[in-house]
Structure 1
Amino acid sequence: MSTNNPRFPRELNATFSKTLRSKVSAYFKNNNTNRNANGAMVTKTIVMLSLFFVPLIILSTGIISSVWLLFLAYLIAGLGMSGIGMGIMHDAIHGSYSKNKKLNTLLGYSFNLIGANDAVWKVQHNFLHHTFTNIEHADDDINAPFFLRFSPHAKHYWLHRFQHIYVWFFYGISTLSWVTAKDFIRLKRYKKMGFFNKKHEFSKVLMAMIGWKLLYYSYALLLPMIMIPLAWWIILLAFVSMHFVTGLLVSTVFQVAHIMPDNEFPLPGTKGNMSDDWYSHQFNTTTNFAPKSRFLSWMIGGLNFQIEHHILPDVCHVHYKNLTKIVSETAAEYGMQYNVKKNFGQAIVAHTKMLRLLGRPQLAIN
């Protein structure tokens, strides 16, 4: 089956988006606010940037000589890194942080400051994931290495029966892999797919990527190794622990929103046509969780409201909670499903169950 360029029919539920957009616009007008960042978002931005950079600045001064303080500083920086990834750059690169494109671009560079790359992310996340959610080969978020299976259409191997046990380790090292090799691999692959093909674009992105990563490793690892009077391997281990915290939190949050028993993994027909319209597809492949947890929502950039994020990516996440009633009621009006788990723990249990199901050869649609 062709999954290179899936196409969604526009005639189905043609009025849904107009109805939803009208209700959302009315909400912002009636509340005399806009869909971009507010004061709370600005405060969060300062807090998350501080959580990441302040511990690293302290480490770079060399005043810390205690092993446990070293690990504590890196772990706090890991929480800050997670917050930057999910709560600052995510909105900025979607263009929802501000109406000012230059400000969005500037804040999007915060992703580069934590070792990743904004240009590659735009292709992977904004285009491939948001457009083709849970479609095998098209959604890069479920295109996993052979030892992980995130779709019933992916090839099944015997070791997948244990993936619900070992997947958490790979979630933990995901961002470390990301900032070292994965960005380069994806950049090369995306060029073959037709991205970064403007004159000198690929080389410019590659050179910028190398420069940003050298800067990141310089202040996040090399400078502490030079300044802190501890063995290099201890500092390296603490650095890895920072990434493990970030990787485990970020990967879990993103994956429990889509790799769930209630979510669908549809494929296009032989001509690349999908059976559902794009909005129905987003509801069918996405799950919210912990809608009442204000702290979790604050910490993970509102990504517990993943449905609202997927269908309203141009709205800053600080507004998602207040829009859930509008979205869920409009979905019900048009006969669309609205998946939600009561809390984060319930979502993780369901995600683990799905990983276990995907590990069985019986759940193989190859």
Structure 2
Amino acid sequence: MKNIKFDKSGSAEFSKTLHARVNEYFKKTKKNRYGNSNMVLKTIVMLSVFFIPLAFISSGLVTSTWLLFVLYISSGLGMAGVGMGVMHDAIHGSYSKNPTVNKYLGYSMNLIGANASVWRIQHNVLHHTYTNIDHGDDDINAPFFLRFSPNAKRYWIHRFQYLYVWFFYGLSTISWITSKDFVRVTRYHNMGFFNKAGEYKKELLKISSWKILYYSYALVLPLIMVPLPAWIIILAFLNMHFVTGICISLVFQTAHIMSETTFPEPDEKGLITNQWAAHQLATTSNYAPKSRIFSWLIGGLNFQVEHHLFPNICHVHYRKLSKIVAETAKEFEIPYLVKTTFLKALGDHVKMLRQLGRA
């Protein structure tokens, strides 16, 4: 990856003005930037929706196939809720002012089978810094059969990706709990992360240990306790992850892989001809800004523009901040992308996938 840099001169006044207005908002309302009682409630709800069905499955009381699938799928919805509404803020350090609280709630990522340390680099460092930049943003560095950037190499199979991509979205968290974390921690080690003495080996051991713990209560214990054929239990477990993968992929992909978002390329010196804040607005889109329930369920990630500009602010504040961001962007004549509903965002995402498969 090139040493990518952003032009610090362009739109610098926009960033300065926006931050001043956001600071003034918190000063005037006397609110802090972190989570509140709403976040505590959400944490309890999402962790309960994830763990309670698994506990019931492992109780030995589940004897029917349909109930097993219902419970596993319910747990999958809770898993998605934990990922989007709890661990996401915690790993960004925006859940609480207390770093210890963020650290331990960040481990909820490990409890759902993935790894917080790997996610922190993939998401916080690479995705948030180099959004939609090929070979910089690890969220668009896809396998050869998927093309998420017009700057990536195109193959004939991409013409059909808008049809088959949903299957791979569903497999995304299955990849997380099996190979993805090991592949990425090795790649990040080669990129210069995890390079302190013995850190890489320790991280591999930690990843393995957390995954053993996860498989123990999410799959092994049900295999022991549920009086049904093993293949049915494994299939129900995979269904849980397929539901989670679909939920998380659609929420994140409809914020960046869109027809109106840009995919800038650095010049020969690695320079992006845009100031970082303006770059975030150009590469990110909001959706369903008026849907309060939907926003609560997905951890405020329908306000992706605000999240990318202020990842250190808890998502419970994004709805209010969105008005400030939109007005400031309009004042400085910077595009502020938003789709009125999630379905419109999803339709535009499909349109973009088709476009990427043809040109």
TM superposition score normalised by structure 1: 0.97
Matching residue of 2:188? 190
Mapped partners of 2:15, 2:243: distance in 1: 38
Please say if 1:132 is aligned against 2:130: yes
Which of 338, 346, 359 is the aligned partner of 1:348?
Answer: 346
Matching residue of 2:254? 256
- How far residue 321 of structure 1 moved from its aligned partner, in angstroms, is 0.6
Where in structure 1 do 4 or more consecutive aligned residues deviate above 6 Å?
A: none
Three-state SS of the structure 2 residue aligned to 1:21 is helix
Mapped partners of 1:251, 1:301: distance in 2: 14
Which of 283, 290, 293 is the aligned partner of 2:291?
Answer: 293
Mapped partners of 1:12, 1:336: distance in 2: 12
Which of 25, 45, 58 is the aligned partner of 2:43?
Answer: 45
The one-letter amino acid paired with 1:278 is: W
Is the CA contact 1:5–1:138 (under 8 Å) kept in the aligned structure 2? Answer: no
Is the CA contact 2:8–2:274 (under 8 Å) kept in the aligned structure 1? Answer: no
Deviations 1:258-312 (A, max 9, x none): 0000000010000101111101110000000000111111111100000000000
**Which aligned pairs between 1:1-366 and structure 2 lie closer than 5 A?**
3-360=1-358, 363=359
- How far residue 32 of structure 1 moved from its aligned partner, in angstroms, is 2.1
Is the CA contact 1:55–1:74 (under 8 Å) kept in the aligned structure 2? Answer: yes
Deviations 1:205-246 (A, max 9, x none): 111100000000010001001000000010001101100110
Three-state SS of the structure 1 residue aligned to 2:6 is coil
The one-letter amino acid paired with 1:205 is: E
Mapped partners of 2:220, 2:14: distance in 1: 52
- How far residue 16 of structure 1 moved from its aligned partner, in angstroms, is 2.4
Deviations 1:58-105 (A, max 9, x none): 111111111111011101100110011000000000000001000000
Three-state SS of the structure 1 residue aligned to 2:62 is coil
Three-state SS of the structure 2 residue aligned to 1:37 is coil
Is the CA contact 1:94–1:314 (under 8 Å) kept in the aligned structure 2? Answer: yes
Unaligned runs of 5+ in 1: none
Three-state SS of the structure 2 residue aligned to 1:229 is coil
- How far residue 33 of structure 1 moved from its aligned partner, in angstroms, is 1.3
Is the CA contact 2:295–2:301 (under 8 Å) kept in the aligned structure 1? Answer: yes
Is the CA contact 1:263–1:285 (under 8 Å) kept in the aligned structure 2? Answer: yes
Is the CA contact 2:11–2:274 (under 8 Å) kept in the aligned structure 1? Answer: no
Deviations 1:15-55 (A, max 9, x none): 32222122112212222211100111110000000000011
- How far residue 13 of structure 1 moved from its aligned partner, in angstroms, is 2.0
Q: Superposition RMSD on alpha carbons, in Å?
A: 0.8
The one-letter amino acid paired with 2:146 is: L
TM superposition score normalised by structure 2: 0.99
Mapped partners of 1:295, 1:234: distance in 2: 34
Equivalent pairs, count: 359
The one-letter amino acid paired with 2:50 is: F
- How far residue 203 of structure 1 moved from its aligned partner, in angstroms, is 1.0
Mapped partners of 1:345, 1:13: distance in 2: 32
Three-state SS of the structure 1 residue aligned to 2:58 is helix
Deviations 1:92-135 (A, max 9, x none): 00000001000000000000000000110011000000000000
Mapped partners of 2:307, 2:68: distance in 1: 36
